[in-house]
A and B are shown apart, each in its own frame.
Chain A
Amino acid sequence: SQELEQSPQSLIVQEGKNLTINCTSSKTLYGLYWYKQKYGEGLIFLMMLQKGGEEKSHEKITAKLDEKKQQSSLHITASQPSHAGIYLCGAETPGGTYKYIFGTGTRLKVLA
């Protein structure tokens, strides 16, 4: 079965610093989704990547999917306290129902 591993598991950065979160799949990705979760709350959709080599940006967050479609990265530029939370990568599994499996999550803390 497909597994997603995220690294690092947790990250503490000073406000204004850049950071990168990685997500590695054990199998080729059909669709890769990044979500943000605040502790004890729901998942907020950030970005979707489907094509090898694809890159998308929204405000200060950039997500990339490698050419082989087995690894994705999420990069935050000039981090702010509002970026704090848990970042989850999710992968769509083939087979028609489009269910997701999720990575282990990366807990981000931004120090003001």
Chain B
Amino acid sequence: EPEVTQTPSHQVTQMGQEVILRCVPISNHLYFYWYRQILGQKVEFLVSFYNNEISEKSEIFDDQFSVERPDGSNFTLKIRSTKLEDSAMYFCASRAAAYEQYFGPGTRLTVT
């Protein structure tokens, strides 16, 4: 069964460093998303991506964040200068036209 994959599973970085979180969505899906979950809190929407551009972003998704689909298969989330409060689980999700979203296993980002 096709699934969304994410790498790395765990990333430790120092404050101020850039990180890139990678996702491979399900191949025939059209919509792509990033969510984050701070430990013990709700899963929060960050950004949605469709037709090679951002279709919606939340207040959390400020200028420090960017997304890219560089080669038609990967979908990346970049955080330019990480802060302590960026420590969280980051989930990638994808969906076909009118169905449920499929979530990846997540990347745990720890900023020290």
Question: Which residues of A does B touch, CB under 8 Å?
Answer: 33, 35, 40-45, 48, 88, 90, 95-105
Contact = CB atoms under 8 A, between A and B. Distances in A.
Contacts of B89: 40
Contacts of A41: 105-106
Interface residues of B, number: 23
B100 A102 contact: no
Residues of B contacting A: mostly: strand
Contacts, number: 52
23 contacts: A33-B101, A35-B103, A40-B89, A40-B106, A40-B108, A41-B106, A42-B104, A45-B100, A45-B103, A48-B99, A88-B43, A90-B43, A97-B31, A97-B50, A98-B31, A98-B95, A99-B56, A100-B35, A100-B45, A101-B45, A103-B42, A104-B42, A105-B42
B106 A42 contact: yes
